[in-house]
């Protein structure tokens, strides 16, 4: 629903996809000034569809728009990070629990393969690839999610975090190793058809653990409680 690529051919969609890609890929970093007329020129369209695209991105939290001032790529301060991670913890937990009964042996195998690749990345220290594989891993888990609304929320959260790539938030020592282990734990729960409750809790913890690791680093308090 959020990032369906939508090859509508509409210039508006075109602008939306283009700007969104540039933000997520990091071509536009947080704080980057998005001048409507400039983007319009770059894309060969007029400002109206660009404006529409920008406002859509604003609604998704990727862009900050100030009236009569302009749009900038949304940064994410510690508070926002906390909100986003906490929300993700909840919606990912739900998405995983809902998807679990629909995940087959083939999916599990695929996810496990991805996870082993991630483990290799840790040895060879390849964080870029690690991040991509991490996405793949969770995609396998979520792709069967029967509730598209929830899936959409998950995607929004991921997009919101994507702009953080290579930012200070991402590297917490040792966290990656734990993450891979937690992945394996999740797979075990799913393949043994554990209770939805258990799966949801595990998925939540997987996310909040990353948040906690960050919070611990900045000693601000913990949120793993819930």
Q: Which of residues 195-224 bind its own copies (CB under 8 A)?
A: 196-197, 200
Among 33, 24, 86, which residue's Cα sits nearest to residue 61? 24
DSSP letter at 200 equals: H
DSSP letter at 144 equals: T
8 A C-beta contact, residue 96 and residue 141? yes
Dist CA 53 CA 177 (whole Å): 38
At closest approach, how far in Å is the CB of 187 from its own copies?
Answer: 20
Dist CA 15 CA 18 (whole Å): 5
8 A C-beta contact, residue 208 and residue 222? no
Residue from the set 148, 173, 174, 221 that interacts with its own copies by CB under 8 A: 148
If one asks whether residue 84 binds its own copies (CB under 8 A), the answer comes out as yes
In the list its own copies, DNA, none, the entry touching 200 (Cβ below 5 to 8 angstroms by class) is its own copies
If one asks whether residue 59 binds its own copies (CB under 8 A), the answer comes out as yes
Residue from the set 2, 3, 10, 110 that interacts with DNA by CB under 7 A: 10
If one asks whether residue 35 binds DNA (CB under 7 A), the answer comes out as yes
If one asks whether residue 124 binds its own copies (CB under 8 A), the answer comes out as no
If one asks whether residue 213 binds DNA (CB under 7 A), the answer comes out as no
User: Taking each helix axis from N to C terminus, what angle separates 105-124 and 175-191, rounded to the nearest 10 degrees?
Assistant: 170
If one asks whether residue 192 binds DNA (CB under 7 A), the answer comes out as no
Dihedral sign (CA 71, 77, 82, 85): positive
Task: Please say which residue, 60 or 212, places its beta carbon nearer to DNA.
Answer: 60
Choices 38-46, 93-101, 177-185, 209-217 (CB under 7 A): range interacting with DNA: 38-46
User: Taking each helix axis from N to C terminus, what angle separates 47-59 and 36-43, rounded to the nearest 10 degrees?
Assistant: 110
Dist CA 170 CA 162 (whole Å): 10
Binding site for its own copies (CB under 8 A): 8, 10, 48, 51-52, 55-56, 59, 67, 83-84, 86-87, 90-91, 94, 97-98, 147-150, 153, 196-197, 200, 225-226
Binding site for DNA (CB under 7 A): 10-12, 33-38, 40, 45-49, 51-52, 65-71
């Amino acid at each position: 629903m959020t990032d369906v690529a939508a090859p509508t051919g509409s210039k508006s969609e075109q602008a939306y996809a283009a700007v969104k890609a540039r933000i997520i890929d990091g071509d536009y970093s947080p704080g980057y000034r998005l001048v409507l007329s400039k983007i319009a020129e770059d894309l060969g369209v007029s400002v109206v569809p660009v404006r529409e695209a920008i406002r859509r991105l604003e609604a998704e939290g990727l862009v900050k728009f100030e009236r009569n001032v302009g749009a900038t790529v949304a940064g994410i301060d510690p508070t926002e990070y906390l909100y986003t991670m906490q929300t993700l913890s909840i919606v990912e937990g739900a998405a995983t629990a809902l998807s679990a009964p629909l995940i087959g042996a083939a999916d599990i195998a695929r996810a496990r393969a991805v996870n082993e690749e991630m483990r290799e990345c840790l040895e060879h220290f390849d964080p870029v690839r690690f991040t991509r594989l991490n996405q793949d891993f969770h995609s396998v888990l979520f792709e069967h999610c029967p509730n598209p609304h929830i899936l959409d929320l998950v995607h929004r959260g991921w997009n919101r975090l994507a702009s953080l790539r290579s930012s200070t938030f991402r590297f917490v020592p040792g966290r990656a190793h734990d993450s891979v282990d937690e992945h394996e734990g999740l797979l075990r729960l799913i393949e043994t058809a554990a209770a939805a409750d258990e799966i949801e809790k595990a998925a939540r913890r997987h996310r909040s653990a990353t948040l906690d690791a960050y919070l611990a680093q900045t000693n601000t308090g913990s949120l793993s409680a819930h």
